[in-house]
Amino acid sequence: MKAYKDMDRDELLTVKAALEEEYKVIEAKGLNLNMARGKPGFSQLALSMPMLDVINSESDMRTVLGNDTRNYGDLDGIGESRKLMADMMSVQKDNVIVCGNSSLNVMYDTIARSVTHGVMGGTPWSKQDKVKFLCPVPGYDRHFKITEFFGIEMINIPLHDDGPDMDMVEKYVNGDAAVKGIWCVPKYSNPTGISYSDEVVRRFANLKPAADDFRIYWDNAYCIHHLYDDVHDEILNILEECEKAGNPDMVYIFSSTSKISFPGSGISAIAASLNNIEHIKKQMSIQTIGHDKINQLRHARFFKDIDGLMAHMKQHAKLLRPKFEAVLNTLESELGGLEIGTWIKPRGGYFVSFDSLPGCAKNIVAKCKDLGVVLTDAGATFPYGKDPNNSNIRIAPTFPTPEEMQEAAEVFVLCVKLASVEKYLTAN
Amino acid sequence: MKAYKDMDRDELLTVKAALEEEYKVIEAKGLNLNMARGKPGFSQLALSMPMLDVINSESDMRTVLGNDTRNYGDLDGIGESRKLMADMMSVQKDNVIVCGNSSLNVMYDTIARSVTHGVMGGTPWSKQDKVKFLCPVPGYDRHFKITEFFGIEMINIPLHDDGPDMDMVEKYVNGDAAVKGIWCVPKYSNPTGISYSDEVVRRFANLKPAADDFRIYWDNAYCIHHLYDDVHDEILNILEECEKAGNPDMVYIFSSTSKISFPGSGISAIAASLNNIEHIKKQMSIQTIGHDKINQLRHARFFKDIDGLMAHMKQHAKLLRPKFEAVLNTLESELGGLEIGTWIKPRGGYFVSFDSLPGCAKNIVAKCKDLGVVLTDAGATFPYGKDPNNSNIRIAPTFPTPEEMQEAAEVFVLCVKLASVEKYLTAN
């Protein structure tokens, strides 16, 4: 394959004409496919249906400790769900509060609490002149929306193959007391799929923040979401590393079963040092009498333990692999050698991140939409929705069937090619 | 019966000696009863167990509109749960957002949103000099804890038999722009059990608030929680009355099924004008992708409609009546004529409110505790936990069995008598 950049105008025009023919053929099909959000597919949801039989009218509704899950109580979650989530998050049970159906909501509440009441007794952010957050990019749009909503200034930090650019992170965190946090998806990152190296995690744990109320917002959303049975990414335990480094209170860890059991009907959790947990519980005791303990019991009894969880995740992986392969193989076979885009082959998580030639992402997404394939908005993976290079596109392969995914991937590569040719023709 | 106030010192000493004998007998029993919180009893929880069979692995998980409740979506709740909660709250479906497991959490979030982002585009409360709330007293301790947590100044408003003192409410709301809200439990009020008269509701709807961002926080927690089949309190529809009065946006209504299905595993809702709903949804879309729709489906399919809900509530009432009667009959038979306390016989709700002689409440609660009967802390029904008269005690008869409730009521009246005698002896 000849790289587009090496083609002259005539060659580009020839390629363009052929692509436009293809475009018309697909246009006529009237496709309707959605790769916009990281939604589990139908077959994945079916995996968890037996969970709905675990609790029924004949069930003993008491926890192992004898508490009635049907009544008020257990603000930090029932013991068995705390143990399950603790094992999943590689922390101790006492460091975990099991919450409601959404870890996003827990993250929102954590930021909101810091804004109104400060972090662990510190000055509320609303009473501080300036609050900034570091945002490794590309990243998760809903993280950025939370910090934007609270008027927190966001600073882009490049995300490399082994994690965020730690030189920049150290410079900002250690040098600027207005920097209060950093959003991290440390394992199978959203959207690039990379996992943080041991070196990166250790550098995180050894930060010397200028601000006492600086925290790492460690959204370990994909902690057990491996795509393959044999090759797993593993990351260092941030809570332990922070303790070792003398920064025991510096991290909040979030996770949920949204992409394990049911999105919207799973359970979520926050993990942190006992000091942090104590402060969080104080606020939480004002906000609620407790979370849904029957659903906690349902999860604990269905998965039983971490082994049950891991076995369940293998079934998810089996369903997801063909979808990821449809995308990755199509990218490789159709774009290999053209030098019009780069991507990483993830070993887990929910996304494939694609970087087009600078300036092409919005055009690609628009063309895909024209052809009936909805992608996440270009720019969404950056704070304020602004990708300075207009090149990153998040592909979410989980919701369509493998066949649909194949079809969508073909549409995608076509649009990448066409947008790239258009770019070179405009430039020349 | 001779009223204590008319007894001379010798008579009081004779009564006291007899009461102390009784006290010793009960002390020896080593009771362990809890009337502190409004928790449903075991038999009430059993009523909702069949709900846990309604959704199982064979269920069609789609809503009437065809949405899969197992996946992300439906931020404002699935249609059938919105309809159910709308009918329960006497509003239209479009005015309702169905939320998570806790209306307290929805109230907290509503206040938190106003603090950080203002009410419907107004100045955030955190940026205003002073924010005040009116608190009809006695009232619900968890309401007061929320406003206290956010540093909102609370002003006591006497609660009469037909609702809050509206002269005071009008004076504050219409005259002071720092007054941003009032906490109301308009039906079967917590704790006194009274319901607001039509006149009171109309005066609420016709307030002319000095502050644009004033709202009525209408916690209709006990809207269908009647104790009797034949006699129901009914209140005017505040949303309609506010519309009529030209104040369509002035009220937020809250409710939940916590004391209908399961506390902690029910569904909650907020109802308001479409303008308010739109603003709430904007913030909610940052906070969460959606609430637990499977649980919404479970509730909608189990109760079916408002008739199903009302039939279910009749079963609750049947279980609750003997407990309330144990309290009320004992109060009447043991304290009638002694002039050492007053109470209201409620027709619904979860509590009996008792007013002792001024200065006696803490002593009564302490004595009950000594005898193994835990009551809500004296003062809890007032902002900052401070009952200026030290006389109000909230009795929660729902959790114990009727037999236990009888026993507890006997302990209670004994302690009331003893504390009252002690008061008169000290005064003399």
Q: Which of B426, B407, B377, B397 is nearest to B41 (CA)?
A: B397
Which amino acid is present at A311? A
Does residue A396 sit in helix, strand or coil? coil
CA distance B174 to B23: 51
**Pair of tokens at residue B413:** 């009246």
Task: Give the pLDDT band of residue B36 (cuts 50, 70, 90).
Answer: confident
Q: Considering only residues 354 to 373 of chain B, which have any Cβ-Cβ distance to chain A shorter than 8 Å?
A: none
Q: Do B286 and A108 touch (CB under 8 A)?
A: yes
E strand map for B12-144: 33-35, 96-98, 132-137
CA distance A360 to A358: 6
Q: Considering only residues 203 to 262 of chain A, which have any Cβ-Cβ distance to chain B shorter than 8 Å?
A: 262
pTM for this predicted structure:
0.97
Tell whether A67 lies on the interface with B, counting CB pairs under 8 A: no
Percent of chain B with pLDDT over 90: 97
Could you report how far apart the first and last alpha carbons of chain B are, in Å?
A: 21
Q: Residue B49: closest CA among chain A residues belongs to which residue?
A: A57
Asked if A247 and A206 count as a contact pair (C-beta separation under 8 A), the reply is: yes
Task: Give the pLDDT band of residue A428 (cuts 50, 70, 90).
Answer: low
How do residues A372-419 score in pLDDT, each as one tens digit?
999 999 999 999 999 999 999 999 999 999 999 999 999 999 999 999
Does residue A229 sit in helix, strand or coil? coil
Distance from CA of A367 to the nearest CA of B (A): 25
Nearest to A105 among B53, B265, B287 (CB): B287
Q: Do B265 and A37 touch (CB under 8 A)?
A: no
Nearest to A286 among B73, B145, B288 (CB): B145
Nearest to A59 among B52, B61, B124 (CB): B52
How do residues A170-223 score in pLDDT, each as one tens digit?
999 999 999 999 999 999 999 999 999 999 999 999 999 999 999 999 999 999
Which whole number is the average pLDDT over B377-393? 97
Which whole number is the average pLDDT over A272-299? 98
Asked if B238 and B253 count as a contact pair (C-beta separation under 8 A), the reply is: yes
CA distance to A216, B330, B331, per residue, from B415 (Å): 54, 13, 12
Tell whether A37 lies on the interface with B, counting CB pairs under 8 A: yes
Which amino acid is present at A39? K
**Pair of tokens at residue B62:** 């789609």
Phi/psi class of residue A79: alpha, beta or left (left: φ > 0; alpha: ψ in -120 to 50)?
alpha
Nearest to A70 among B105, B108, B265 (CB): B265
3-state helix, strand, coil in chain A (%, to 5): 45, 15, 40
Q: Which of B298, B32, B296, B256 is nearest to A289 (CA)?
A: B256
Buried b (16+ CB within 10 A) or exposed e, A171-209: ebbbebbbbbbbbbbbbbbbbbbbbbbeebbbbbbbbeb
ipTM of the modeled complex: 0.97
Asked if A204 and A216 count as a contact pair (C-beta separation under 8 A), the reply is: yes
Q: Considering only residues 295 to 334 of chain B, which have any Cβ-Cβ distance to chain A shorter than 8 Å?
A: 295
Nearest to B294 among A109, A146, A262 (CB): A262
> How many beta-carbon pairs below 8 A join chains A and B?
157
Pairing relationship of beta strands A153-160 and A163-164 according to DSSP bridges:
antiparallel
Which amino acid is present at B29? K
Question: What is the four-CA torsion angle of B281, B285, B289, B294, rounded to 10 degrees?
Answer: 0
Tokens 């999943």 label which residue? A88
DSSP state string for B45-69: HHHTTTHHHHS-TTS--B-TT--BT
How do residues B233-250 score in pLDDT, each as one tens digit?
999 999 999 999 999 999
3-state helix, strand, coil in chain B (%, to 5): 45, 15, 40
Which whole number is the average pLDDT over B267-272? 98
Q: Considering only residues 136 to 195 of chain B, which have any Cβ-Cβ distance to chain A shorter than 8 Å?
A: 142, 145-146, 149-150
**Pair of tokens at residue A418:** 């066409």
